[in-house]
Amino acid sequence: MLAGCVPFTAAAQSLPAPNAQLASKELNGRVESLLKKMTLDEKIGQLVQFNGGYATGPGGTNLHNDELAAKGQVGSFLNIVGAEATNHYQHLAIEKSRLHIPILFGQDVIHGHRTTFPVPLAIAASWDPAAAELVAHYGATEARADGIPWVFSPMVDIARDPRWGRIIESNGEDPYLGSAMARAWVKGYQQDDLSKPDSAAVSVKHYAAYGAAIAGRDYNAVDMSEIALRQVYLEPYHAAVEAGAATLMSSFNSINGIPATANRHTLTDILRNEWGFDGFVVSDWGAVAELMNHSIGDGPTVARKALEAGVDMDMEGNLYGTVIADQVRSGKIPESVVSEAVRRILRVKFALGLFEHPYTTPGPAYDATPERRAAARKVAAETLVLLKNDPVEGVGVLLPFTSKAKKVALIGPLADNQRELLGAWAGNGDPKYVVTLRAALQERLGDRLLYAEGCGLLSGEDASVLNHVDFNRPMTADSHEPVPDDAKTIVEAVETAKKADVAILALGEPANWMEGEASSRATLGFTGAQEQLLEAIAATGKPIVLVVLAGRPLELKWAAGHVPAILEAWSPGIEAGHAVADVLFGDVNPSGKLPASLPRAVGQEPLYYAQMPTGRPARVDLSHFPRNAEEKFNSRYMDEDNSALFPFGWGLSYTRFTYAQPTLSRSVVPVAEVLASRGKSVVTVGVDVKNTGGVAGTEVVQLYIRNTAASVEQPVRELKGFARVTLAPGEQKHVEFPLGFDELNFWNAEIKQTVEPTTYKIWAGGSSLAKAETSLQIAE
Ligand code: NOJ
């Protein structure tokens, strides 16, 4: 199922039509006849969702689930999992409630349901939409078997600031890559039929622009131009809607002063009127009630604003359930607004086949079968990014390992930590299934493997409470472990390293504590004493391979200057150890590419390759203090280069790829032809890529453009195509990228998508630094 050398571009991929099921006449007839029978209270019941299990937000409220289900006063539950538990409530709704409307059970399925794959940011690093599709399909199959036909995934928020902990759930910084991945996730979950027993409806989140929180602080306001909103941030949601997404989740943030959960512009004007979305919108957890904190009104006012803006279901807020009915009765809210929201929700319930098959047949207990493990291992290996592999004097390159290494010292708090390797927000995943790096390397090396934990993931008091954090329970006095003695364990690790020929350091940050929701950071270094550990091992002079295990770009500046080999391994899931070992030993040639830039310093954030031009560009990165006016009066930092430490699209291989100059099927295209080419191509860019190294490998060939003369300034580079290409040593392939309106347009000052006469610079290569160049003229 994973793509080998299938060129992928937006224009080449055929999109499923927006969900035909939701638009079907027969289905809508059933919705209308049911709607006619419903009382106002029954209608409002459909707009309400309650938490029924562990809390995934503050203040889980409902204690009367049985009663609400039996009275038809709850349209949906979240966090109730398993055939037995879901069937319990479903029986009450179907057998006791007047209209027998099934409950829709929803849950967060972020990177697999029970089989835990790498985190979404890692999957984006594969640049393989087929991998995302596969992971989504596993998630849907397993969730549905657990009574959950509705998954709160994919998160398609553009994330350009790794201080924001939720970058882990994203596809990274780029709208083109993000849109390709968004389509794939939707397709994998929903397939072409929501009612299939292995399909689940998605909830694309968090609409809109949640990832642009000011200063990377979660839940913070978003303030950006309408052009940036449209051209960058809305793109992946739009792609997901075009792929047939059945539901969307509104976000916590405000956008240019209007909270996203009461934002008519994004929720109705754009989503429904421009994009033709025909599913429903659920709020994020408590986001309707939290509108009061945004100071746009009291409870009844904010509930009315959210509903009228286009939020159909109130997640765990219970505001719709308590304040809408009175406003309808007093004429403040037309009943037709309520009915329309109900209609949208019922459509999805019918399309999922819940009226025909409301219950889930209990199946065998979950097991991480060899087939599941094989899928997790293959996907995980594809997500690893080789950042650096410089030769060491007298040894050569360290990777891939050969018999050169007699003894290997594996060191670091993430080397043998099942819980953290599973990754943040692993939902129903179980750490017990994780093969750690230590276990996998032991399989390969036996007693040639030495091990030392080195230090904790956190230091001092933070570390002593880490293992006891449970957001559903208050901390108690005994919720502590002894404060770790990092100084002592670092000395022990140094002794271990001294006995080995090479050291592998497995470092990062605590995924379950510092990544995901509400996990913003103001610094981006390794946590606790890990940097000290790294420096102490480096001081032994032993060659080091650093394996970075983190769901966000970390600041690796010291490491990049002192460590010869660095592998970015994210949070790889249940097959973590095997996948990392496959790459370290060369069974898998690494092919991952960064979906987000890695900074030199946190102060560069938000850092992304598609920067806007400036009148005073820094022509070169200067590592010294500016010496004259030419160097000083530029858009640059006094104390750091502008560039990323490792840029977007970056990733090495054990072989080398060489690019010829790209060619065009024609070099001049009339603007009228481009304007008429939506969904089509007008010119093809071709590039020859050759494997000039000694082993087979897969390269992600990337295509970038720059519009050099537009009425609104355009980014210095934008990704507009990519393809995974597998090449034997010495083999060459010709890769083609179609370009048309979809790739060449931009949003103008009148907020219209257009193309103007101009020249596009075009680059093809293996990262956003691609050098092989040509140019395309768009004539009057
Ligand atoms: C809040 C999160 O923002 C969202 O991603 C999630 O789906 C809901 N809680 C439900 O858990």
Helix H or strand E encompassing 686: strand 683-691
Task: Output the DSSP codes for 445-458.
Answer: HGGGEEEE--S-SS
Could you tell me if the CB of 157 is within 6 A of ligand 1?
no
The dihedral sign for the CA sequence 333, 338, 340, 344: positive
Which residue's CA lies nearest to atom 4 of ligand 1?
Answer: 284
Strands lying side by side in the sheet with 76-78: 280-283, 247-250, 201-207, 150-151, 104-107, 76-78, 48-51, 314-315
Atom from ligand 1 closest to the CA of residue 203: 7
Q: What tokens appear for 354 in the block?
A: 């819940």
Top mutation candidate among 51, 80, 108 for ligand 1, by most atoms within 8 Å of CB: 108
Of residues 623 and 780, the one with the higher pLDDT is 780
- Please give the average per-residue pLDDT across 90-97, as a whole number: 98
Q: Answer whether residue 502 shows pLDDT above 50.
A: yes
With a CB cutoff of 8 Å and minimum separation 6, the contacts of 532 are: 455, 486, 490
- The band of 403, judged by pLDDT with boundaries at 50, 70 and 90, is low
Q: What is the pLDDT of residue 12?
A: 37
Measured between alpha carbons, how far is 11 from 8 in angstroms, rounded to an integer?
Answer: 8
Rounded to a whole number of angstroms, the CA Rg of the chain reads 26
Instruction: Tell me the pLDDT tens digit for each residue of 214-261.
Output: 999 999 999 999 999 999 999 999 999 999 999 999 999 999 999 999
Q: What is the pLDDT of residue 404?
A: 63
Top mutation candidate among 164, 185, 285 for ligand 1, by most atoms within 8 Å of CB: 285
- The band of 18, judged by pLDDT with boundaries at 50, 70 and 90, is very low
Taking each helix axis as running N to C, give the angle between helix 530-538 and helix 486-498, from 0 to 180 degrees, rounded to the nearest 10: 30
Distance from the alpha carbon of residue 176 to the mean position of ligand 1, in angstroms: 25
Q: What is the pLDDT of residue 114?
A: 98
Per the DSSP assignment, residues forming a β-bridge with 684 are: 738
Q: What tokens appear for 212 in the block?
A: 């642009």
Atom from ligand 1 closest to the CA of residue 316: 10
Could you tell me if the CB of 517 is within 6 A of ligand 1?
yes
Could you tell me if the CB of 56 is within 6 A of ligand 1?
yes
Distance from the alpha carbon of residue 169 to the mean position of ligand 1, in angstroms: 11
Distance from the alpha carbon of residue 58 to the mean position of ligand 1, in angstroms: 11
Q: What is the pLDDT of residue 405?
A: 67
Measured between alpha carbons, how far is 346 from 76 in angstroms, rounded to an integer?
Answer: 11
With a CB cutoff of 8 Å and minimum separation 6, the contacts of 149 are: 104, 105, 143, 194, 199, 200, 201, 352, 354
Q: What are phi and psi of 237, to 5 degrees?
A: -65, -40
328-337 core/surface letters (b: 16 or more CB in 10 A; e: else): beeeebeeeb
**552's torsion region: left (phi>0), alpha (psi -120 to 50) or beta?**
beta
Could you tell me if the CB of 283 is within 6 A of ligand 1?
no
Instruction: Tell me the pLDDT tens digit for each residue of 335-376.
Output: 999 999 999 999 999 999 999 999 999 999 999 999 999 999
- Under 8 Å between Cβ of 231 and 3: no
Pairing mode of beta strands 718-727, 697-707: antiparallel
Q: What tokens appear for 441 in the block?
A: 């390397």
Q: What is the pLDDT of residue 13?
A: 42
Which residue's CA lies nearest to atom 9 of ligand 1?
Answer: 285
- Under 8 Å between Cβ of 714 and 742: no
Q: What tokens appear for 297 in the block?
A: 């009104």
- Closest by CA to 131, choosing from 117, 148, 110, is 117
Instruction: Tell me the pLDDT tens digit for each residue of 308-336.
Output: 999 999 999 889 999 999 999 999 999 99
Could you tell me if the CB of 152 is within 6 A of ligand 1?
yes
Atom from ligand 1 closest to the CA of residue 210: 3
- Please give the average per-residue pLDDT across 283-294, as a whole number: 98
Could you tell me if the CB of 210 is within 6 A of ligand 1?
no
* Residue type (1 letter), 463: A
Q: What tokens appear for 415 in the block?
A: 């080397």
Of residues 572 and 618, the one with the higher pLDDT is 572
Could you tell me if the CB of 108 is within 6 A of ligand 1?
yes
Instruction: Tell me the pLDDT tens digit for each residue of 726-750.
Output: 999 999 999 999 999 999 999 999 9
Atom from ligand 1 closest to the CA of residue 152: 7
Could you tell me if the CB of 166 is within 6 A of ligand 1?
no
Measured between alpha carbons, how far is 313 from 281 in angstroms, rounded to an integer?
Answer: 6
Instruction: Tell me the pLDDT tens digit for each residue of 584-625.
Output: 999 999 999 999 999 999 999 999 999 999 999 997 777 778
CB atoms within 10 A of CB 640: 16
Could you tell me if the CB of 486 is within 6 A of ligand 1?
no
Could you tell me if the CB of 169 is within 6 A of ligand 1?
no
Pairing mode of beta strands 772-779, 668-670: parallel
With a CB cutoff of 8 Å and minimum separation 6, the contacts of 158 are: 170, 172, 173, 174, 175, 178, 209, 211, 212, 232, 233, 235, 236
> How many alpha carbons lie under 13 Å from residue 24 in its C-beta half-sphere?
16
Instruction: Tell me the pLDDT tens digit for each residue of 335-345.
Output: 999 999 999 99
C-alpha to C-alpha distances, 127 to 120, 164, 706, nearest whole angstrom: 11, 22, 21
254-284 core/surface letters (b: 16 or more CB in 10 A; e: else): bbeebbbbbbebbbbebbbeebebbbbbbbb
Top mutation candidate among 152, 248, 288, 520 for ligand 1, by most atoms within 8 Å of CB: 152
Could you tell me if the CB of 183 is within 6 A of ligand 1?
no
Pairing mode of beta strands 104-107, 544-549: unpaired
The mean pLDDT value of the chain amounts to 94
Measured between alpha carbons, how far is 482 from 494 in angstroms, rounded to an integer?
Answer: 23
Longest CA–CA span in the chain (Å) reads 84
Q: What is the pLDDT of residue 3?
A: 36
CB atoms within 10 A of CB 359: 14
- Closest by CA to 118, choosing from 418, 374, 384, is 384
Distance from the alpha carbon of residue 315 to the mean position of ligand 1, in angstroms: 9
Q: Answer whether residue 1 shows pLDDT above 60.
A: no
Q: What burial class does residue 679 get, using C-beta atoms within 10 Å of its C-beta: 0-12 exposed, 13-18 middle, 19+ buried?
A: exposed
Distance from the alpha carbon of residue 78 to the mean position of ligand 1, in angstroms: 10
Q: What is the pLDDT of residue 61?
A: 63
Distance from the alpha carbon of residue 105 to the mean position of ligand 1, in angstroms: 14
Which residue's CA lies nearest to atom 1 of ligand 1?
Answer: 285
- Closest by CA to 490, choosing from 547, 548, 530, 546, is 530
C-alpha to C-alpha distances, 762 to 699, 770, 774, nearest whole angstrom: 19, 10, 5
Q: How far is CA 365 from the centre of its chain?
A: 29
Could you tell me if the CB of 284 is within 6 A of ligand 1?
yes
3-state helix, strand and coil shares in percent for the chain, rounded to the nearest 5: 35, 20, 50
Share of the chain above pLDDT 90, in %: 88
Could you tell me if the CB of 57 is within 6 A of ligand 1?
yes
Strands lying side by side in the sheet with 544-549: 385-389, 565-568, 544-549, 502-508, 408-411, 449-452
Could you tell me if the CB of 51 is within 6 A of ligand 1?
no
Instruction: Tell me the pLDDT tens digit for each residue of 690-728.
Output: 999 999 999 999 999 999 999 999 999 999 999 999 999
Whole-prediction pTM:
0.97
Q: Answer whether residue 10 shows pLDDT above 50.
A: no
Q: Is 284 a catalytic residue?
A: yes
Taking each helix axis as running N to C, give the angle between helix 437-445 and helix 576-584, from 0 to 180 degrees, rounded to the nearest 10: 50
Distance from the alpha carbon of residue 363 to the mean position of ligand 1, in angstroms: 27
Q: Answer whether residue 411 shows pLDDT above 70.
A: yes
Could you tell me if the CB of 205 is within 6 A of ligand 1?
yes
Q: What burial class does residue 540 get, using C-beta atoms within 10 Å of its C-beta: 0-12 exposed, 13-18 middle, 19+ buried?
A: middle
Distance from the alpha carbon of residue 369 to the mean position of ligand 1, in angstroms: 29
Distance from the alpha carbon of residue 27 to the mean position of ligand 1, in angstroms: 29
C-alpha to C-alpha distances, 770 to 5, 7, 609, 686, 763, nearest whole angstrom: 20, 18, 12, 15, 6
- The band of 15, judged by pLDDT with boundaries at 50, 70 and 90, is very low
* Residue type (1 letter), 721: G
**79's torsion region: left (phi>0), alpha (psi -120 to 50) or beta?**
left
Top mutation candidate among 167, 205, 281 for ligand 1, by most atoms within 8 Å of CB: 205
Which residue's CA lies nearest to atom 3 of ligand 1?
Answer: 284
Distance from the alpha carbon of residue 165 to the mean position of ligand 1, in angstroms: 14
Could you tell me if the CB of 568 is within 6 A of ligand 1?
no
- Under 8 Å between Cβ of 521 and 404: no
Which residue's CA lies nearest to atom 11 of ligand 1?
Answer: 56
- Please give the average per-residue pLDDT across 381-407, as a whole number: 92
Measured between alpha carbons, how far is 446 from 443 in angstroms, rounded to an integer?
Answer: 6
Task: Let me know the angle formed at the C-alpha of 679 by 676 and 685, rounded to the nearest 5 degrees.
Answer: 90
With a CB cutoff of 8 Å and minimum separation 6, the contacts of 301 are: none
Q: Answer whether residue 135 shows pLDDT above 80.
A: yes
**Which residue of the set 284, 312, 416, 742 is catalytic?**
284
Per the DSSP assignment, residues forming a β-bridge with 704 are: 719, 763
Could you tell me if the CB of 150 is within 6 A of ligand 1?
no
CB atoms within 10 A of CB 614: 12
Distance from the alpha carbon of residue 317 to the mean position of ligand 1, in angstroms: 13
Q: Answer whether residue 445 shows pLDDT above 90.
A: yes
Distance from the alpha carbon of residue 763 to the mean position of ligand 1, in angstroms: 39
